[in-house]
Amino acid sequence: MKKRLLLYILLAFLVAMNGFFLFKQFSSSETKGPQRRGPKNFITKQLKFDEAQTIQFEKLNELHHEKIREILDATKESKDALFDQLTNEKISNRAIDSLAHVIAKKQTLKELEIFNFFRAVSALCNANQKVRFKTIIKDAVRGPGGPGGPEGNGPPGRGGSENRPPPPARR
């Protein structure tokens, strides 16, 4: 009987703790939710967009996402077509190259869409915001922890070999 009582107490404790954590998770403020942490909100906050700029930015962002989704869907179809040929022993290298070229063109379209989106965002900015935007984009292109990043402790640049270790000795 004592063992069961202990198990019931432990079970009640675990249920109470789960309830507490679920409550904490779902009752957190809006600024901590997934809707508020995305790149869209980051850009509007970092650039301190006014209300008109925010509305224009949201329209640009929505259109951008639609275009990117179309490109990604088309890229997926092209990749599926390429990999469907994986077991086809009769397919020529020229046909494979052609399919790969189609995929590369779609990737180029994606990169151009991203560039044009950021160009349009830059056009929304005033002079001070453009300076900040340029810094944000440079940091994003470098990637987290890259050279000159927030901590400046990223990998060395690709330019020189002064920080590279010597090649392994051959035997």
Per-residue pLDDT for the chain (171 aa), expressed as one digit of tens each?
677 888 888 888 888 888 888 888 777 554 444 444 577 888 889 899 999 999 999 999 999 999 999 999 999 999 999 999 999 999 999 999 999 999 999 999 999 999 999 999 999 999 999 999 999 888 888 876 555 444 444 444 444 545 566 777 765
**Helix, strand, or coil (residue 111):** helix
Inter-axis angle of helices 93-124 and 51-84, to 10 degrees?
Answer: 180
Whole-model pTM over 0.75: no
In sequence order, what are the residues at sequence separation of 6 or more whose Cβ sits closer than 8 angstroms to the Cβ of residue 107?
75
Count the alpha carbons within 13 Å of 90 in the hemisphere toward its beta carbon.
0
- pLDDT (0 to 100) of residue 35: 45
What is the Cα–Cα distance from 31 to 89, expressed in whole angstroms? Answer: 55
